[in-house]
Homo-oligomer: A and B are copies of this chain.
Amino acid sequence: MSSHPQAAPLIQKMRKSSLRIAKARSIFRLKSKLARNCLSEFLGTAMLLFLGLSVSMQFILSNGVISSWFHVNFGWGLALTFSALATYQTSGGHLNPAISLLMVTLEKLPHSHLLPFIIAQLSGAIVGSIGPYYLYQDQFKHFTSLKTLAFPGLAACFTSFPELHVSNGTAFFDQIAGTGVLAFCICLCIDRRNKVPVFLQPLFFGLVLTMIGCSLSLNVGYPLNPARDLGPRLFAAYLYGIEVFSYHDWYFWIPLVAPCIGAIVGGWAYQIFIGIQIDDDHEEYELKVSN
């Protein structure tokens, strides 16, 4: 900046550039680590739902004209990537009560933090559901003025509903399987022995979600997350009534319970069948490098 007359003061100003943020830090930084973590989970889940539900709404409300099912899978994957990145250094980026529960069983999260985490995640999910609805309120009105769908109709913008020919038993098995794959792959990506660098892990989480959307979303969509499913369902109940819960023989409890079972099964399956079987000294056959 030597050729600029104001260079020296400008550089000095730059050096002080953290002042304003430092002031914000002194005012807004939370003292309690648990509070910081809960804020992180609250915001991350709200961000995930805000972006993810917008993806779903753009698909449904445009009749797929400026969206497609691949947009849904890729968009939700990216939403998870950046939500996880935003919360990864603070609370670990769970954003999902089932994953938090798994982390407790793996002794990575204290028991006493589980309930605060879940409350933060569920509150975040509710708050994150409201934004997209108001953002797209003109589209909701327009869509409704053009056609009337049988229930669930536009409630499917918010939360999961099984197709009529899918039984609740299948839905239950489906959510165990889907969340099992999710938890298995998360444990896979974060296990230091598999050498995925920290900066790629949120991207890999997103790709896992995209993969599940390509493979396991035919029965009920892929909620995989009690907070992601219940939060917007509560808001949808406010909009569309209790049928949001009672539909399909009170299906709503399945994406609350099954993901918790699936996460524990999938996470521990990783530990037992893959994680602990890896040699710590890496004296395997040198398969990965030729010559």
Contacts and interface: CB of A to CB of B under 8 A. Distances in A.
A288 to B, nearest CB: 5
A6 to B, nearest CB: 7
Interface in A109-147: 109-110, 112, 131, 134-139, 141-142
Q: DSSP majority for the A interface?
A: helix
B107 A211 contact: no
Greatest chain B CB density within 10 A among A72, A110, A166, A215 is at A215
Contacts of A54: 215-216
Given A10-B110, A54-B216, A286 B141 contact: no
26 contacts: A1-B283, A4-B34, A10-B110, A17-B107, A18-B107, A22-B291, A25-B276, A29-B277, A55-B214, A67-B214, A70-B71, A70-B74, A78-B207, A79-B211, A86-B194, A86-B270, A87-B274, A89-B284, A92-B285, A108-B290, A109-B285, A131-B177, A135-B174, A191-B289, A192-B291, A198-B288
A152 interface: no
Copies of this chain, count: 4
Given A28-B272, A85-B188, A139 B103 contact: no
Contact of A58 (B31, B78, B207, B218): B218
Interface residues of A, number: 136
Contact of A28 (B13, B32, B40, B276): B276
